């Protein structure tokens, strides 16, 4: 019997909400799309792990997406070290 693996990949860098660049406001909309597609595996790239205030909003975008979708996550090694703003 054939088995299918549904994989979704999303680049969330510089998502826009209503034409305005927004760092975290698009996360619920991205989570909604992930939930609609219901993939077995989601790969996200160009995510941000914001540093603490005053240099960022303290939001880990991967953890936030995992919370919004109910999908567990595994951090991947080999990421770029963030700057003061968490990029």
17 strand-pairing partners: 20
Q: What is the pLDDT of residue 37?
A: 94
pTM value is 0.70
Q: What is the pLDDT of residue 10?
A: 85
Q: What is the pLDDT of residue 57?
A: 62
- What are the pLDDT tens digits along the chain (87 aa)? 778 999 999 887 766 555 555 667 788 988 999 999 999 999 888 777 766 666 656 678 888 899 999 998 877 655 555 555 555
User: Could you write out the DSSP letters of every residue in 6-61?
Assistant: -EEEEE-TT-EETTEE-SSTTHHHHHHHHHHH--SEEEEES--BPPSTTSS---BH
């Amino acid at each position: 019997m054939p088995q299918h693996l549904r994989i979704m990949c999303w680049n969330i860098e510089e998502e826009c909400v209503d034409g305005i660049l927004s760092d975290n406001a698009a996360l619920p909309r991205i989570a909604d799309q992930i939930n609609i597609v219901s993939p077995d595996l989601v790969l996200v790239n160009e995510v941000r792990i914001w540093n603490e205030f005053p240099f960022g909003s303290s939001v880990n975008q991967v953890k936030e997406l995992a919370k919004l979708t109910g999908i567990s996550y595994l951090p991947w090694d080999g990421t770029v070290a963030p700057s003061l703003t968490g990029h």
